[in-house]
Amino acid sequence: MPPTIEETLAGYQDAARATAIYPGQGNNAGLLYVTLGLAGESGEFANKLKKVLRDGPTVDTQEDLVAEPGDVLWYVASAASELGVSLADVAELNLDKLRGRFEAGTLRGSGDDR
């Protein structure tokens, strides 16, 4: 039987934790560190895509772009760890929110409380 999504995400989160070396792990400094990392990697992804828009794709474009969401994912998993929750719970909460908005017809628009 293939692993569940929860098992896959738990395995990823554990693997991310095993490669985590940064100051303040387990306290607010660790959460701050991974939050800054998440913002930085999100910016790297946006910047690489910006350059594709400016200069056009190269033979390395796909590989370059695909690497960045992985960096983002590592920081998301680490943020979940710092918050003391599972990556699977983070994913499920997000999907529950989006399904609720889909069913309510409020996927479009803005605001956290749709």
Catalog residues that contact Mg ion under the rule CB under 5 A. Answer: 41, 44, 71
State which residue, 77 or 88, has the beta carbon closest to Mg ion: 77
Nearest distance from C-beta of residue 68 to Mg ion, angstroms: 5
Nearest distance from C-beta of residue 61 to Mg ion, angstroms: 15
Number of H helices, E strands in the chain: 4, 0
Name the DSSP letter for residue 107.
S
State which residue, 73 or 90, has the beta carbon closest to Mg ion: 73
Considering only CA atoms, which of 25, 17, 31, 6 is closest in space to residue 74?
17
Nearest distance from C-beta of residue 94 to Mg ion, angstroms: 22
Considering only CA atoms, which of 15, 31, 12 is closest in space to residue 23?
31
State which residue, 6 or 44, has the beta carbon closest to Mg ion: 44
